[in-house]
Chains A and B, each alone.
Chain A
Amino acid sequence: MIPARINAAAVAAAFLFLAGAGRAADPNLCAACHGEGGNSANPAVPSIAQQPAQFISTSLFMFREGNRKDPQMSPMAANLANADMNELAKFFAEQKAAPPKHKSSAESVEAGPGLAKKFNCSQCHGAKLLGQQHIPRLAGQQLEYLKVQLRAFKAGTRADIDGNMTSAAQALTDKDIEVLTDYLAGLSPQ
């Protein structure tokens, strides 16, 4: 099972805030789950600090439009205008990503770079897997989040912008996903 340790109180507070006179594009609302400055402390919630701005705005857009669905994110994105999304994207892209808490196993550190090349990760996500443009940073990302995304891409249930990730994930075995994500979650985000 995937730990769903979303801070219910924080979400509730965020909704109350939204219902009031607060600005929809307040980064503090995001920080309730994604952590201070977008550095998540929850393995199931992605860090959004220092992610490429276009990746953040694209993700918010896809949650609002229904390409991606998530019990927490869909309602959060529902009230955001495109300009709000661009503003939030710019804010979190400018935050510094903290070093990961996750420690990769020695086996994953050895096998990871080969797998990242073999499965075409580094071709788009970059040599250091820091992401670019619409392509997210994987280095130092939360472990459970990475696993859930890759499994969903493989199952064809996770929308991606152009079909490339669904396509790329088809060749991954469960074991590949375990090793790759263990490797990625421990990489430096800088």
Chain B
Amino acid sequence: MKSPISFAVAAAFSISALAQDKPAAAPPPSWQQGKPAALAESTLHPFAPHLTGRPAKELPLDKLKVPAGFKVEVWADGIPEARSLALGDKGTVFVSNRNAKNVYAVIDKDGKREVKTILKDQDSPNGIVFNKGTLYVAERGRITRYDGIENQLDKPAEGKVIVDNLDPSRQAGHFWKYLAMGPDGKLYFNIGAPGNIVLPNYMQASVMRVDPAKGVLETVALGVRNSVGMDFHPKTKELWFTNHARDWLGDDSPNDTLHRVARPMPHFGYPFCHQGDTLDPEYGKNRSCAEFAKPAQKLGTHIAPLGMKFYTGKMFPAEYQNNIFIAMHGSWNRTTKQGYNVMRVKLDEKGNASKPEPFLTGFLTDEKADPPMWGRPVDLLVMRDGALLVSDDYNGILYRISRAK
């Protein structure tokens, strides 16, 4: 401190005022936290979508591959930063944004798709789910309901806020939400960790739920760095979700994971333990992974699992029934890239999950290039006819996978 006066002023205001005198203490940017000195020169960087979208006709669609007996085609393009998907009672496909600010409705009319922007000026409206006539939208800080939305797509009425104050600190990292409707009528969503590897506050790094009629939060799972995909098992009704592990521990550690919530309020380890068996070099000191719940499956390192859906449709062969499809957004924090595909996970009678196997591939063109891919799967939707829709935020496109006739 330069003088007693400046000390008095700083102390009177806040710790942040004090911190301004010591700029060296400012934390590293959220995506850089936990980066070891050995990787200081790394040029790995996050990718971003083409927010204006790219026309399907300009893309190498012939590179896309699905198993024999299936086909993949473009269902709709021109949907900037197509993220999460939801299906209306009348067949409207709702599509959300993460960095952009809109929610779109795609209407299937005589075999042609019309895209309408139904909500604007949203604050990172990544989470959407449709239930009994109502569209629920999770922005970074609140969840809002839009009743009877399919009857008023051209001019939706003002929404009603169910719960807010979900992001009181305007956290730097992982502020976007995924939203799912539980069999209990409650809305399930993530509150991500505010950086790569940091101690979360009282409600971060969790999966939460809220009764739309009450607006009171309940904790479902803790120690979840960031989940951007969840669904409920069609038979057991248990919640399953995907989770992104931390960065900067090298190309092959730790794995992103698939989780099953088999008992009340499990703690899955973050930031102390990753993938159920790997202690964090900083937060894991003097801890044991034995105190935390294990993931249902390891999915691959930096593979970025996003949307996941149990397949419940009638179109695919019987062996696909109740399998899990997972959209892998793909790695940035890895020198050799992987992911950028849709994977299939099978469950046995006890609910043990198999290793993931590729279902839709071809977006990854050069694992060493920057960028290595031309498209990135985000979310999945099982359509009424049993076809599987896949969103791609990099290009603003929805693909449809169906049985080849």
Closest chain B CB from A152 CB (angstroms): 15
Interface string of A156-177 (1 = CB under 8 A from B): 1000011110111011110010
With a cutoff of 8 Å between Cβ atoms, the chain A residues found around residue B50 in the complex are 54, 57-58
From A55, which residue of chain B is reached at the shortest CB distance? Answer: B48
With a cutoff of 8 Å between Cβ atoms, the chain B residues found around residue A173 in the complex are 23
With a cutoff of 8 Å between Cβ atoms, the chain B residues found around residue A176 in the complex are 23
- Tell me if B88 counts as interface (CB < 8 A to partner A): no
- Tell me if A67 counts as interface (CB < 8 A to partner B): yes
- Tell me if A135 counts as interface (CB < 8 A to partner B): yes
| A135 to B55 CA separation, bound complex (whole angstroms) | 21
With a cutoff of 8 Å between Cβ atoms, the chain A residues found around residue B45 in the complex are 123-124, 135
With a cutoff of 8 Å between Cβ atoms, the chain A residues found around residue B32 in the complex are 120, 123, 168
From A58, which residue of chain B is reached at the shortest CB distance? Answer: B51
- Tell me if A92 counts as interface (CB < 8 A to partner B): no
With a cutoff of 8 Å between Cβ atoms, the chain B residues found around residue A135 in the complex are 45
- Tell me if B356 counts as interface (CB < 8 A to partner A): no
With a cutoff of 8 Å between Cβ atoms, the chain B residues found around residue A149 in the complex are none
From the candidates B51, B121, B172, name the one contacting A61 in the complex (CB within 8 A).
B51
From B371, which residue of chain A is reached at the shortest CB distance? Answer: A133
With a cutoff of 8 Å between Cβ atoms, the chain A residues found around residue B44 in the complex are 123
Closest chain B CB from A90 CB (angstroms): 11
| A86 to B52 CA separation, bound complex (whole angstroms) | 7
Instruction: Determine whether the beta carbon of A162 is less than 8 Å from that of B29.
Output: no
Interface string of B30-68 (1 = CB under 8 A from A): 111000000010111111101111110000000000000
**Size range of the interface on A?**
35 or more
- Tell me if A85 counts as interface (CB < 8 A to partner B): yes
Q: A66-B121, A161-B48 are in contact. Are A132 and B80 (CB under 8 A)?
A: no
Instruction: Determine whether the beta carbon of A167 is less than 8 Å from that of B48.
Output: no
- Tell me if B26 counts as interface (CB < 8 A to partner A): yes
- Tell me if B143 counts as interface (CB < 8 A to partner A): no
Instruction: Determine whether the beta carbon of B101 is less than 8 Å from that of A134.
Output: no
Instruction: Determine whether the beta carbon of B371 is less than 8 Å from that of A82.
Output: no
| A82 to B382 CA separation, bound complex (whole angstroms) | 29
Interface string of B168-181 (1 = CB under 8 A from A): 00101101000000
From A54, which residue of chain B is reached at the shortest CB distance? Answer: B50
Instruction: Determine whether the beta carbon of A58 is less than 8 Å from that of B173.
Output: no
- Tell me if B164 counts as interface (CB < 8 A to partner A): no
From B78, which residue of chain A is reached at the shortest CB distance? Answer: A82
- Tell me if A62 counts as interface (CB < 8 A to partner B): yes
Closest chain A CB from B319 CB (angstroms): 39
- Tell me if A60 counts as interface (CB < 8 A to partner B): yes
Closest chain B CB from A67 CB (angstroms): 6
**Size range of the interface on B?**
35 or more
- Tell me if B238 counts as interface (CB < 8 A to partner A): no
| A62 to B121 CA separation, bound complex (whole angstroms) | 11
With a cutoff of 8 Å between Cβ atoms, the chain B residues found around residue A57 in the complex are 50-52
| A161 to B124 CA separation, bound complex (whole angstroms) | 11
With a cutoff of 8 Å between Cβ atoms, the chain A residues found around residue B370 in the complex are 132-133
| A188 to B134 CA separation, bound complex (whole angstroms) | 55
- Tell me if A110 counts as interface (CB < 8 A to partner B): no
Closest chain B CB from A85 CB (angstroms): 5
| A86 to B30 CA separation, bound complex (whole angstroms) | 30
- Tell me if A65 counts as interface (CB < 8 A to partner B): yes
Instruction: Determine whether the beta carbon of B23 is less than 8 Å from that of A171.
Output: yes
Q: A132-B370, A162-B46 are in contact. Are A168 and B29 (CB under 8 A)?
A: yes
| A57 to B31 CA separation, bound complex (whole angstroms) | 24
- Tell me if B27 counts as interface (CB < 8 A to partner A): yes
Instruction: Determine whether the beta carbon of A170 is less than 8 Å from that of B52.
Output: no
With a cutoff of 8 Å between Cβ atoms, the chain A residues found around residue B47 in the complex are 133-134
| A89 to B52 CA separation, bound complex (whole angstroms) | 10
Instruction: List B residues at the A interface (Cβ < 8 Å).
Output: 23, 26-32, 40, 42-48, 50-55, 78, 80, 99-102, 120-121, 170, 172-173, 175, 370-371
A-B contact pairs, 19 of them (CB 8 A): A62-B51, A65-B101, A66-B101, A66-B121, A67-B101, A117-B40, A120-B28, A122-B43, A127-B43, A132-B370, A162-B48, A163-B173, A166-B172, A167-B30, A167-B173, A168-B32, A170-B26, A171-B26, A171-B28
